[in-house]
Amino acid sequence: MGGSEAFVVTPSASRLSAQERASALVDPGFGKIFTDHMVTLRWSEGSGWHDARVRAREPFMMDPASAVLHYGQEIFEGLKAYRRPDGSITLFRPEENARRFNRSAMRMAMPELPETLFIESVEWLLKLDGDWVPEGEGSLYLRPFMFANEVFLGVRPASHYVFCVIASPAGPYFQQGAKALTLWVSDRYSRAASGGTGAAKCGGNYAGSLIAQMQAAARGCDQVVFLDAAERRWVEELGGMNIFFVMEDGEIITPPLGTILPGITRDSIIELARSEGYAVREARYSIEDWEADAVSGRLRESFVCGTAATVVAVGEVRRLSGSFEIASKAPGPVTQSLQTRLLDIQRGRAPDPLHWCRTLGKIAGL
Ligand code: PLP
Ligand code: COI
């Protein structure tokens, strides 16, 4: 299947009233409340993608022997819809999410979803739940995901899958509204290793990161930062964000792709920074250099970025052997200007020279 005519649309009979929705949107937090609808498609060996539906959000009925519950064949994406000043709704680089979704699918031996179907699914959900895209600084976080639901306990790629998109209005990811994060360096746990699944957006990567995140929280830190698994030396990324280092000579360093998630925000920041004349290097940077450069002043700023988190400064780094501060713990000028540049493009407050924003397309038949 491929065309929008294949989606069967059944609007929910119990959508929230405008008033209920407005009160849900006052302080939505992150990932706590959900819109009225969801999109689902199914895949089976032999018939491929079929049964595309736009319908009321409801729980899944799952057999206890469904493959995902045992061997974790699950991948997901995260992208945001923004309300522009003229009232229209925009998606930021959704084609990149569709492509990354398929790279994750390939790594996890799951079926690929045609990019057009990925984007149409997201657009269908927005078509029905567009009123949930907040005005002002909020956004609607869209979560496409796919899981194996074959009823079989053998260890092999499943022959049945479900693709689904849900949506959740989002305020700031960091509740406390931190201006600069405190990070905990995990000396004990790795997130990914060469040949592993670090570059895929699969649920298992996040399950494996939670114990380190718990330790970070126990040390009073906001997030954990992972080092490479082989030498425990090279800074990789956070559990859900990529990381950048701004040097005194204006050079910006970010860890190279390989075992990290190829963030779409990361890629956009690299392009924006280069277009503003910064030299951006994708290169390994060690925890020892990070500390020494922060102490000497050679490192001026660090920031992390991701769809959920946007762009946030790093103010302090703690590890078992001690801690160090970055630039008096205040967000620096490069972090702030890249953050503003990106947010202004995403929200339609500034020109979009690279055509990253996709204003909600017209779906046939509506
Ligand atoms: N790294 C990890 C592990 C993530 O989960 C995310 C979030 O999706 C990112 C980085 C940032 O990726 P993006 O900018 O595409 O949201
Ligand atoms: C995102 O930024 O979209 C993510 O998936 C990260 C997660 C921590 C919410």
Q: Both ends of the chain: CA-CA distance in Å? A: 19
Residue 261 sits in which domain range?
Answer: 181-346
Is the minimum distance from the CB of 78 to ligand 2 under 6 angstroms?
A: yes
Residue after which a domain boundary falls, among 171, 190, 220: 171
Regarding whether 64 and 199 lie in a shared domain, the answer is: no
Ligand nearest to the CA of 173: 2
Tell me, yes or no, whether 289 lies in a domain. Answer: yes
CB-based contact 67:73 (threshold 8 Å)? yes
Check: CB of residue 268 under 8 Å from CB of residue 80: no
Pocket test for ligand 2, best of 74, 80, 143, 173 (most atoms within 8 A of CB): 173
Mutate to test the pocket of ligand 1, among 77, 242, 270, 343 (most ligand atoms within 8 A of CB): 242
pTM flag (> 0.85): yes
Query: By alpha-carbon position, which residue is closest to atom 11 of ligand 1?
Result: 306
Tokens of 121: 């699914």
Whether residue 145 is found in the same domain as residue 205: no
Residue 365 reports pLDDT greater than 90: no
Whether residue 356 lies inside any domain: the answer is: no
Residue 313, token pair as written in the block: 């400064």
187 shares its domain with 151: no
What CATH number should be reported for the domain holding residue 207? 3.20.10.10
CATH code, domain with 75: 3.30.470.10
Q: Is 308 in the pocket of ligand 2 (CB under 6 A)?
A: yes
Task: Work out how many domains the chain is built from and give that number.
Answer: 2
Q: Which of 119, 149, 171 is the last residue of a domain?
A: 171
Specify whether 87 is located in the same domain as 165.
yes
Residue 333 belongs to some domain of the structure = yes
In a domain, 162, yes or no: yes
Q: Are both 66 and 12 inside the same structural domain?
A: yes
Element (DSSP H or E) covering residue 226: strand 223-227
Contacts of 179 (CB under 8 A, 6+ apart): 313, 315, 330, 331
- Cα 340 to averaged position of ligand 1 atoms, centre (Å): 19
Q: How confident is the model at residue 327 (pLDDT cuts 50, 70, 90)?
A: confident
* Same domain as 152, residue 66: yes
Same domain, residue pair 79 and 47: yes
Are 141 and 234 in a shared domain? no
- Domain C-terminal end among 146, 171, 196: 171
Q: Which atom of ligand 2 is nearest to the CA of 263?
A: 2
| Residue range 237-251, pLDDT digits in tens | 999 999 999 999 999
Based on the fold, state whether residues 83 and 232 are members of the same structural domain.
Answer: no
Ligand nearest to the CA of 265: 1
Rounded Cα distance between 75 and 201, Å, is 6
- Say if residue 8 is in the same domain as residue 130: yes
The per-residue pLDDT for range 338-364, each reduced to its tens digit, is: 999 999 999 999 999 999 999 885 444
Span from the CA of 309 to the centroid of ligand 1 (angstroms)? 9
User: For residue 121, what are the CA distances in angstroms to 6, 134, 260, 284, 348?
Assistant: 11, 20, 27, 38, 23
Q: In whole angstroms, give the CA distance from residue 144 to residue 161.
A: 13
Judge if the beta carbon of residue 144 lies within 6 A of ligand 2: no
pLDDT one-digit tens code per residue, 136-184: 889 999 999 999 999 999 999 999 999 999 999 998 787 655 689 999 9
